[in-house]
Chains A and B, each alone.
Chain A
Amino acid sequence: MRLTVRDLDVSIGERVLCRSLNLGLQNGESLAILGRNGAGKSTLLTTLAGLRPIQRGSIDIDEVPLAEIQPKLLAQLRGYCPQQQQDAFSATVLEIALVGRHPHLGRWAWESMRDVELACDALDQVGMRSMANRDVHTLSGGERQRLALAALLVQAPTLYLLDEPLAHLDLNHAIAVLDIFSRHVASGQQALVAVLHDPNLARRYFQRTLLLFDDGSWIEGNSAEVLTQDNLTRLYAHPLHCLQDGAQQWFVPQTDSQVAGDIQQSGVK
């Protein structure tokens, strides 16, 4: 699988969020998208998923434009996990996880034991197997988020598109989720694009990073090269420090007092 984005404009109304984006991504690669609130991260991700019409430019998977791929085939190629899950009606955790099998089943087919096994396995991976019979309405925000990721694992697409997958997760689950998807990428059979808020996780888990600036410009490249103190300070319009820990770099935002040139600054080097 190869995702190719050429000269893509992403806009909402009159506002251009991202101007002439060029991007290529293939199996075994991962890309983090960083930007401020409202910079267009989610809009770009839904556009990449083929859920929004393209105004200008093109998005191809294996040189076939997204819009020309059959919806069902497209659902086997790419999976998309939104920020928020909506449950107007109740359902069990297992039923929601099984939803991921939809693109793999024929119109007349019902889920088989094998499909249930796949769903249970995915629930196991996100640590929710014991909750299989719970009603989704009784889940906490983090549990609901993990369930959505489990459904995506059941869908087993080649390209994962995750919108803030870690938003409601506590630390251990966040790392567990990143580990799961990194394993899939490392297998060389799948690719990952995720919207994140933490440059440090982007640096640790993603080979490449795309920075979306508020003025519609962007920078894309190897995470190590793109995630610099200057770029991030410009991106978030807030000064950041870089802490060195052996080969690892950590970016921490300066506090108000530090920005004001407080003496604390000398303590952080």
Chain B
Amino acid sequence: MSILLAASVASILLALAVGSFRVPIPDVIAAIAGDAHTMGADVVMKLRLPRALGTFACGGLLALAGALMQVLLRNPLADPHVLGVSGGASVGALLSLLLGASITAMNAAAFCGALLAMLLVFGLAHGDGGWTRARLLLTGVIIAAGCAAIATLILSIAPEQALRGMLFWLMGDAAHISNPWPALLLLIFGLLLIWPFARELNLLSRGDQFAQALGVRVQSVRILVYCAGALFTAGAVTTAGSVGFVGLVVPHLVRLTTGNDQRVLLPAAALAGGCLLTLADTLARTMVAPHQLPVGVLTALIGVPLFLYLLTRKTAATRDMG
């Protein structure tokens, strides 16, 4: 955990220092401390700091949401996008881009879309009171598919000049982050809210009836987990677009190294997700500078080999043990 904390700080510092205009690390620290008024300090404080903190928060939120969805659906393949929340967000965002709205309006539209999808899935899956996992998953997948269809429709009727912005949003893009605080606060308070329930989540991941027999209020905890996961996703997609992969892979990466105790897993996943996304975004804006890549591409490019490596290492280890 302390290693992860150190890595988080390091990744943010690196994100602040590196770019088309290099700022040495000591100057970065001086700029944050507020006793430097050079151009470097301006770049760090006004441009890079919001972006670095914003991406960190998004990565953390996505990883946290992914970990929660995996417990809620008791399915290792679940990720934050599986329940249609980011689908709703993308419809909202694309619609506002189509209408030529400002960035603030687009964020608001994305958030509204996410909330709408969340309520829709919740309402439909809840329906007659029977809230089974399969029903929730299917409803989420269907709503996500519907949103994807609408998004494609918008893409196909969109004018040329709006298209690029839309595609970047869909792939996940941190370039338009101007205010990192909503996402950051959501991450901090969300983690504080959900962490006390971590031991109950451990039981829930082993089966609803099992958890209920051991004294967990299954229905209420599940609703809490669903709402938290959906809100985290909504917060993340609103800030940085539909970044894929972080939410699926980071919880697994952490699980492979720290085990499956949610009390450790949740905070560790939040930090690791933040690190990964910050690093990916730093790479995304420096690799082909002055052009910028969508960060979602980079998360996949970093995440896939890392995950495969850990997976093979783990299976080799279990084979040796057996």
A contact residues around B313 at 8 Å (CB): none
Helix, strand, loop or mixed for chain A's interface?
mixed
Q: How many A-B residue pairs have CB under 8 A?
A: 72
Give A49 to B209 CA distance when docked, in angstroms: 10
> Does A135 interact with chain B (Cβ within 8 Å)?
yes
> Does B24 interact with chain A (Cβ within 8 Å)?
no
Range, interface on chain A: 35 or more
Give A189 to B242 CA distance when docked, in angstroms: 57
Selecting from A23-31, A73-81, A116-124, A176-184, the interface stretch reads: A73-81
Give A155 to B214 CA distance when docked, in angstroms: 8
- Are the CB atoms of A102 and B212 closer together than 8 Å? no
A contact residues around B286 at 8 Å (CB): none
Query: Chain A 84-96 against B: per-residue CB contact (8 Å), 1 yes, 0 no?
Result: 0111111110011
Which residue in B205, B215, B321 is a CB contact (below 8 Å) of A89?
Answer: B205
Give A76 to B214 CA distance when docked, in angstroms: 8
Closest to A49 in B: B213
Give A72 to B70 CA distance when docked, in angstroms: 25
In chain B, positions 73-120 with a C-beta closer than 8 Å to chain A are: 74-76
A contact residues around B213 at 8 Å (CB): 49, 51, 75, 79-80, 82
User: Apart from A88-B74, A102-B203, what are 16 other A-B pairs with CB-CB below 8 Å?
Assistant: A49-B213, A51-B212, A71-B215, A73-B215, A74-B215, A76-B215, A82-B213, A86-B206, A88-B76, A89-B205, A89-B260, A95-B260, A99-B202, A99-B214, A135-B318, A138-B318
- What are 15 A-B contacts defined by CB distance under 8 Å? A46-B209, A51-B209, A51-B213, A71-B215, A86-B74, A86-B206, A86-B207, A95-B261, A99-B203, A102-B214, A102-B215, A103-B214, A105-B199, A135-B318, A138-B321
Q: Which 10 A-B pairs have the closest CB atoms?
A: A75-B215, A72-B215, A103-B215, A80-B213, A71-B215, A88-B74, A86-B207, A89-B260, A102-B214, A75-B214
- Residues of chain B touching chain A, judged by Cβ–Cβ distance below 8 Å, are 70, 74-76, 196, 199-200, 202-203, 205-207, 209-210, 212-217, 255, 259-261, 263, 318, 321-322
